Amino acid sequence: MTPEMGEQPHVLVERDMTILGGVEDAITCASDADPTAPAAVTKLTPALPDGAIVTQAYIIVLCRAIEDDSTAANYVGTAGVIQVKKVTGGTWTTGIAIPAGAWDVGASVKGAGFAIIGETDVKAQVADGSQVQFQIVTLRAHGSNILLHDIQFGLKIYYRM
């Protein structure tokens, strides 16, 4: 059949999927060191449908609660970033910026957490079956420590078939 006879031309359909990694009980944001998390939490492997072409990808971070472990109010003292890279052949790419002054929490208080979806496209680091890794860089607490409870990293991936 030809287009003149009613055949529809091939149309690319935009779809999306959310992939989340494991959950870490707590990650500590100290005043003097980068936060660290185990590889089981910071790594995941996207599994896309056959023939999928990634058009956009964004970092997702979920955190159930934020807690200050000092006797004074606390917040992000030094801005930081959350980055992602392909474990093999990738480069660290910033997907979320956390500004100084964010995550304000009272002294010795555990408050509500957050859900952040990045605004910077990180698709260059995302491919079907290629493991990715996340890291938090230069994020420092103003006071003692800020604990991020039940934190999870992931990706929101947009693709075409």
CATH number of the domain that residue 43 is part of: 2.60.120
Residue 73 has pLDDT above 80, yes or no: yes
Among residues 153, 62, 150, 152, which one has the least CA distance to residue 110? 150
Determine, yes or no, domain membership for 8: no
Which has more confidence, 38 or 52? 52
Backbone angles phi, psi at 99, to 5 degrees: -75, 155
pLDDT at 4 over 80: no
Residue at 101 is within a domain: yes
Each residue's pLDDT tens digit, 18-32: 999 989 888 998 888
pLDDT band, residue 1 (cuts 50/70/90): very low
What percentage of the chain exceeds 70 in pLDDT? 90
Diameter over CA atoms, the chain: 76
Query: How many domains in the chain?
Result: 1
110 inside domain: yes
**Two structure tokens written together for 138:** 């230069």
Is residue 68 within 8 A of residue 43, CB to CB? The reply is no
CA distances for 57 relative to 115, 129, 153, 159, angstroms: 16, 15, 13, 9
- Give percent above pLDDT 90 in the chain: 63
Q: What is the pLDDT of residue 42?
A: 84
Write a three-state SS string for 65-133.
EEEECCCCCECEEECEEEEEEECCCCCCEEEEEECCCCCCECCCCEEEEEEEECCCCCHHHCCCCCCEE
To which H or E segment does residue 41 belong? helix 39-42
Average pLDDT over every residue of 25-46: 83
Cα(69)–Cα(74) distance, rounded to whole angstroms? 9
pLDDT tier at 69 (50, 70, 90 boundaries)? confident
Domain span holding position 31: 13-160
Residue 126 forms part of a structural domain: yes
At residue 152, the pLDDT reads: 94
Residue 6 belongs to a domain: no
pLDDT digits (tens, 9 = 90+) for 105-160: 988 889 899 999 999 999 999 998 899 999 999 889 998 889 999 999 999 999 99
